[in-house]
Chain A
Amino acid sequence: MKDKIRNIFIRETSSDLALIQEELKINVKDMIPDGLVEKIFRAMHTIKGSGPMFGFKHLSEVALPVEKVFKELYSRESQVSRQLIEKTSDIINLLQKALMECDAHTPNSNEERALIEYFNNVCPFNAGSDD
């Protein structure tokens, strides 16, 4: 049963992330629409809260700073930097890969640490410029 539920978590989270990634690529230029901000926030919120219950404690720590950023942006159709959009796409890629690899995933790669640091330090309300 534990494995069955874990597989459900992997399937539903991977599917949510794939849809977000698709929307980021197609719809987003320099504005993340309200609905997509909410989807990203909820996906990160789910990974943060449920990940540890299914053996993905590490991903919960990756999702936490992204969730914080998108919580700030929640319900605001704010202009954001191209960099924030690209970093969001990068961290979603990383989460998708980690879910696919399951226990074989190696945490704390340089790329992962750099992305976490970016999301820990970015201020979404000042993210309108690309400097």
Chain B
Amino acid sequence: MAKTVLIVDDSESIREVVNFTLENEGYDVLVGVDGEDALQFLDGSNIDIVITDLHMPNLDGLGLIRKIREMDVYKHIPILFLTTESQAAKKMEAKQAGATGWIIKPFVPAKLLSAISRVLR
């Protein structure tokens, strides 16, 4: 059965690249345009992994992670940040909020796919 990935990014071009890459590999993909928008998919449905940007309007990536970790059903779901932010302090903040991993933009599709397979193992 195909794994379901929730992508959250305010950049349409990044959403398209990630969506295209994942669908080509057989993943089912859900797309949110920011943290607030992504919450509509987190209604108990079967989502296997969340990939989110950090800086977004309305609800940013850290806010989204904190909300997800408050939901019993998604308490242990893998969450990867896909961001240009590479500061150690920000990474620590993300880890404390409950992030599983961190992928730096710009990225190559192979790197994204390998990070996803690693956390879904």
Contact residues, A1-60 vs B (CB, 8 A): 1, 4-6, 8-9, 12, 38, 41-42, 45-46, 48-54, 60
Question: Chain A interface mostly helix, strand, loop or mixed?
Answer: helix
Give the total number of A-B pairs whose CB atoms are below 8 A apart.
42
Residues of B within 8 A of A1 (CB): 20
| B17: interface (CB < 8 Å) | yes
Contacts A42-B55, A42-B57 given; indicate if A50 touches B11 (C-beta within 8 A). yes
B-side interface residues, number (CB < 8 Å): 15
- The answer to whether A49 touches B17, judged by C-beta atoms less than 8 angstroms apart, is no
Tell me whether A52 and B11 are in contact (CB under 8 A). no
Roughly how many angstroms separate A107 CA and B20 CA in the complex, as a whole number? 30
| Partner of A12 from B11, B57, B83, B106 at Cβ < 8 Å | B11
Closest B residue, CB atoms, query A46:
B11
With A5-B17, A5-B20, A48-B84 known as contacts, the answer to whether A12 contacts B12 (CB < 8 A) is yes
Evaluate contact between B105 and A12: CB separation under 8 angstroms: no
The 4 A-B residue pairs whose C-beta atoms are closest, nearest first, are A49-B84, A49-B105, A9-B13, A52-B106
